[in-house]
């Protein structure tokens, strides 16, 4: 428990509301990990990895636990894919890490991928920003939820991360941190964005992006994708220049990110349901079903998403085809087998054509491409 209190911050929602904490038989306070970075860094420190060579690239995959209100894309047990880059503090390492996260998201084929970026500055300039934010929010304390009204005094940044609509509205006109960045942090941020431009990574600046963990310094970012409503964040992370030292290790900086595996699965499942593919249907005796199975195997080998339920009646197969989400249906009957043809039906328009069996794969692919 102490690991997460020190690392994440005792004023965060994660620590205050979401951690599963209990006392074990020895009387020690134990918490199920709500995120991976603190745990990964603790392991790196304990095993001397950073003493041998502070420049490290680490990754982890595993379950996390948070007391959440379960809903689509938000669960009490979930899995994260994490990447941590240690021992480098320059803007190039930040931009390259953000590029990696963006490329991972886009390579999965997720729709509507976008990335927001911000800088939280260093301890010095962030304190100046906190003072201005505290003054602004203090005048609107009556508009804030009970938690945020309390947090304004100690950690006003957490108000920017609140999900309550009233708090979001109250913070709309709040000062932006970019106006308070010191010269070094301003230059660092500008260089990060310049490298992102060089890499061809699109981004939007979001001065309200603070993320939900207190250990972030300077660069923070979040990647979203369409298809999950309000739970649209699929990845996020940022720089943590002080966390290793806070956890008892050497003065080593780092930057990292995490992907939410369940959210990615949900998005890919929805994408699969709408996938450009072909449902294969057989109408006839056993040798017709074998001919359909041969086409099914051929399409799959060619990388064309396809499905079949050949042991069902023709009517049942067509019903399944209509529910599959695929735009096309390949029909093989006695006549098609005899004439070496395939009937391809567009399930969106109900129009259909016939193609030579030997050209079926190419014809289906061309129809899918439109």
How many other β-carbons are positioned within 10 Å of the β-carbon of residue 301? 9
324 membership: H or E segment, kind and range: none
Q: Tell me what pLDDT residue 10 has.
A: 61
Q: Does residue 149 surpass a pLDDT of 90?
A: no
Least confident of 34-38, 60-64, 287-291: 34-38
Q: Does residue 12 surpass a pLDDT of 70?
A: no
Q: Does residue 71 surpass a pLDDT of 80?
A: no
Paired tokens of 28: 């020690």
Does this model's pTM top 0.85? no
pLDDT per position as a tens digit, 310-330: 989 999 999 999 988 899 999
Q: What is the mean pLDDT of residues 98-113?
A: 90
Q: Does residue 7 surpass a pLDDT of 70?
A: no
Residue 212: pLDDT band with limits 50, 70, 90: low
Place of tokens 């699929």: 234
Least confident of 52-61, 83-92, 167-176, 266-275: 266-275
Paired tokens of 200: 């061809």
Residue 267: pLDDT band with limits 50, 70, 90: confident
Least confident of 35-39, 176-180, 229-233, 337-341: 229-233
Residue 260 CA, distance from chain mean position: 5
Domains annotated for the chain, with CATH where assigned, are: 2-122+182-270 (3.30.930.10), 275-369 (3.40.50.800)
Q: Tell me what pLDDT residue 51 has.
A: 85
Q: Does residue 206 surpass a pLDDT of 80?
A: yes
Least confident of 244-253, 271-280, 288-297: 271-280
Strand stretches in the chain, DSSP E: 20-23, 29-32, 56-65, 77-86, 114-119, 204-205, 217-224, 233-239, 254-260, 277-283, 305-307, 328-333, 341-346, 352-356
CB of 219 closer than 8 Å to CB of 96: no
Round to whole Å and give the CA distance between 310 and 333. 12
Least confident of 14-23, 91-100, 152-161: 14-23
Sign (positive/negative) of CA torsion 309, 310, 315, 317?
A: positive
Average pLDDT of the chain is 88
The residues facing 266 across adjacent strands are none
Q: Tell me what pLDDT residue 140 has.
A: 85
How many other β-carbons are positioned within 10 Å of the β-carbon of residue 362? 12
The residues facing 21 across adjacent strands are 31
Round to whole Å and give the CA distance between 221 and 230. 17
Q: Does residue 92 surpass a pLDDT of 90?
A: yes
Q: Which of 74-83, 149-158, 355-364 has the highest mean pLDDT?
A: 355-364
Round to whole Å and give the CA distance between 99 and 121. 20
Q: Does residue 273 surpass a pLDDT of 60?
A: no
The single-letter DSSP state of residue 251 is S
Q: Tell me what pLDDT residue 109 has.
A: 81
**Phi, psi (degrees; rounded to nearest 5) at 76:** -80, -25
Round to whole Å and give the CA distance between 187 and 347. 56
Q: What is the mean pLDDT of residues 112-131?
A: 91
Q: Tell me what pLDDT residue 271 has.
A: 63
- 3-state SS string over 6-72? HHHCCCCHHHHHHCEEEECCCCCEEEECCCCHHHHHHHHHHCCHHHHCCCEEEEEEEEEECCCCCEC
Q: Does residue 250 surpass a pLDDT of 70?
A: yes
Could you give the 3-state DSSP secondary structure of residue 120? coil
**Phi, psi (degrees; rounded to nearest 5) at 99:** -60, -45
Q: Tell me what pLDDT residue 344 has.
A: 96
Q: Tell me what pLDDT residue 119 has.
A: 95
Q: What percent of the chain has pLDDT over 70?
A: 94
CB of 89 closer than 8 Å to CB of 63: no
Q: Does residue 128 surpass a pLDDT of 70?
A: yes
């Amino acid at each position: 428990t102490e690991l997460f209190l020190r690392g994440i911050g005792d004023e965060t929602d994660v620590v205050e509301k979401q951690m599963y904490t209990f006392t074990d038989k020895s009387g020690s306070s134990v918490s199920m990990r709500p995120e991976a970075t603190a745990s990964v860094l603790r392991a790196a420190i304990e095993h001397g990895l950073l003493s041998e060579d502070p420049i490290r690239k680490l990754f982890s995959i595993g379950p996390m636990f948070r007391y959440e209100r379960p809903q689509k894309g938000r669960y009490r047990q979930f899995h994260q894919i994490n990447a941590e880059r240690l021992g480098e503090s320059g803007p190039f390492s930040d931009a390259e890490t953000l590029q990696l996260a963006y490329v991972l998201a886009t390579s999965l084929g997720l729709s509507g991928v976008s990335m927001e970026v911000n800088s939280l500055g260093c301890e010095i300039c962030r304190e100046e920003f906190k003072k201005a934010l505290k003054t602004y929010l203090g005048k609107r304390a009556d508009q804030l939820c009970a938690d945020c009204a309390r947090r304004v005094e100690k950690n006003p940044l957490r108000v920017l991360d609140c999900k309550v609509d009233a708090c979001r509205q109250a913070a709309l006109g709040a000062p932006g941190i970019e106006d308070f960045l010191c010269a070094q942090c301003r230059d660092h941020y500008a260089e990060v964005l310049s490298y992102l431009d060089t890499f061809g990574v699109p981004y939007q600046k979001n001065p309200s992006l603070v993320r939900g963990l207190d250990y972030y310094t300077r660069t923070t970012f979040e990647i979203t994708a369409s298809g999950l409503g309000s739970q649209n964040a699929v990845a996020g992370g940022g720089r943590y220049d002080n966390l290793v030292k806070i956890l008892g290790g050497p003065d080593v900086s780092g930057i990292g990110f995490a992907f939410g595996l369940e959210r990615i699965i949900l998005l890919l499942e929805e994408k699969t349901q709408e996938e450009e593919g072909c449902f294969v249907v057989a109408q006839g005796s056993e040798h017709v079903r074998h001919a359909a199975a041969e086409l099914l195997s051929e399409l799959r080998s060619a990388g064309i998403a396809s499905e079949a339920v050949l042991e069902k009646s023709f009517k049942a197969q067509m019903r399944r085809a209509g529910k599959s989400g695929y735009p096309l249906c390949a029909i093989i009957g006695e006549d098609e087998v005899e004439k070496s043809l395939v009937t391809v039906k567009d399930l969106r328009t109900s129009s259909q054509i016939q193609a030579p069996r030997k050209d079926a794969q190419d014809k289906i692919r061309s129809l899918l491409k439109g």
